[in-house]
Amino acid sequence: MRASKIIPVLVLLIIASTGFADAQCKAFAKSECLPKLSGYTHDGNYHAAVLMEGEEAELYKTFYSDMDYRVSIVGDEKLPSVEFRVLDADRNVLYTNKDKNYASTWDFKLQSSQQLKFIIKVTSSSNHSSGDAPASGCVAIMFGFKLN
Amino acid sequence: MNKIFRIGSGILVVMSLFIMLCSGCRGGKKSEQEVIRVDMVDKTAILEDIEKAERVFQALPSPLESAMLIKSSGAGFDQKLLNPVSNANNYVTSKSMALNLGIYTCDLSYASLYEQTQLLIDYMEAAKKMADGLGILRAIEQKNIDELEQNINNSEVIMKIVSETFMNSNSYLEENDQPATASMVLLGGWIEGLYLSTKLVNMNNFDGNKLVSRIIDQKLSIDILLNLLSGSKGNPAIDELISEVTKLKIVFDKIRLDTSPVRPVYDEASEATILRSEVKTDMTPEVFSELAALASEIRNSFVK
């Protein structure tokens, strides 16, 4: 009887918390990711998701010649480092922030317009031996541009 | 009584699990439709990559970016090309309001970059009407319009307000599980950018025209657009739009766009990476005319 009361409540709480976490990503993106585009005009697009340790997201976008770009990719402080790689249409890796101490921004410009692919991965922390659940939190991706 | 309660609880648990499963495969999350990707490179490899990703974002140029591309090409301003704000009263369906939220946002971005101050306010109000009609809470508030009026000569603040209000709209739609509407807003903005660009091309100066190059560049986004819409496949409004965009893809496929391998070079002076590559493109005036006519036809069907 008691279990039959508790289970539905727990399930509904989980659903509610998932929606709440999503809604929190907008506030997180605005407060933590957007300021890192300082000096650039944010394009106005919004890309954010709740990811767990070890999970990946991908983003496809066309970038244009004659523009300077900055990408800002920021993860919630509960998460380990967020790694991102940038690939061209032939899947050649053009940049990885792993070599830059997981820097959250990258400035770039293009000689000719290209479609690029961003692979964003929340790294896994090594201290799960105690059985802790993997951390999850918002990861926001934003682009700024200016004419060069 | 207990039995009835147990059955009721069981139904609730099943329904809750069903909702959870559905929320896990909603638009924006990886879905079967989103795996549809047509590109110039190895499709199998890309499909394998997408299977691995928890989340796939298809990022179209925003209306602000589209307007900036027009401005950077040196094209002029022509008010006659904009969708009149008086049309805003005609849009009563979610589809027409979403498409025209994107269109008006592109028009207001275009007006703002050419310092058309009164037009900018009028178009922000038209965009607000669309956002309000879609139930997007606090996307564009009166305080944003007041702030625009107070900073009418400050282009930096204007761009920030335009960017912020657009982000308010698309983040609201994303977080309130309305990916189809969000896709339509982006499509509206993109098609308006393409329409304005094709109308502003001076055919007497076709070869080497920078605006023509920008139009060719849109070939790079057509598959992104189709993938974005495919995420909401099955929605009748989206299915119609996929059919329209597919017609555009057929014309874009007639344009040659070959890029050499990309070489990243770090530039100490600007502290930025330069992605070096050469591109060969070819679009005949005939293909351009076909593209321009189709872009006009689609755009005019959205604003009527």
Q: Is B27 on the interface with A (CB under 8 A)?
A: no
For residue B129, pLDDT beyond 90: yes
Q: Chain A closest CA to B56's CA: distance in Å?
A: 5
Out of A58, A106, A114, the one facing B49 most closely (by C-beta) is: A58
Q: What share of chain A is helix, strand, coil (3-state, %, to 5)?
A: 25, 40, 30
Contact A17, B22 (CB under 8 A): no
Cβ neighbours around B132 below 10 Å, total: 15
Cα B132–chain centre separation: 19
Angle between helices B285-303 and B236-252 (to 10 degrees): 160
Cα B292–chain centre separation: 18
CA distance A119 to B85: 40
Tens-place pLDDT, residues B176-192: 999 999 999 999 999 99
A42 with B163: Cβ contact below 8 A? yes
Across chain B, which distance is largest between two alpha carbons, in Å? 84
ipTM: 0.85
Tens-place pLDDT, residues B209-226: 999 999 999 999 999 999
Q: In a structure prediction context, what are the per-residue pLDDT tens digits for chain A, which is 148 residues long?
A: 455 555 555 444 444 444 455 567 999 999 999 999 999 999 999 999 999 999 999 999 999 998 999 999 999 999 999 999 999 999 999 999 999 999 999 999 999 999 999 999 999 986 665 567 889 999 999 999 998 7
Q: Which helix (H) or strand (E) holds A47?
A: strand A47-52
Task: Give the end-to-end CA distance of chain B in Å, rounded to a whole number.
Answer: 59
The residues, any chain, with a CB within 8 Å of residue B143's CB and separated by 6 or more, are none
Q: Is A140 on the interface with B (CB under 8 A)?
A: no
Beta-strand ranges (E) seen in chain B are 55-59, 256-259, 263-267, 272-276, 279-282
**pLDDT value at position A132?**
74
CA distance B45 to B7: 48
Contact A124, A54 (CB under 8 A): yes
**pLDDT value at position B52?**
67
Handedness of CA A32, A37, A42, A47 (dihedral sign): negative
B17: helix, coil or strand?
helix
CA distance A65 to A17: 42
B172 contact residues in A (CB cutoff 8 A): 26
CA distance B209 to A132: 59
Higher pLDDT, A24 or B35: A24
| Closest CA in chain A for residue B158 | A41
B276 contact residues in A (CB cutoff 8 A): 111
Give A 16-35 residues with CB within 8 A of chain B.
Answer: 18-19, 22-23, 25-26, 29-30
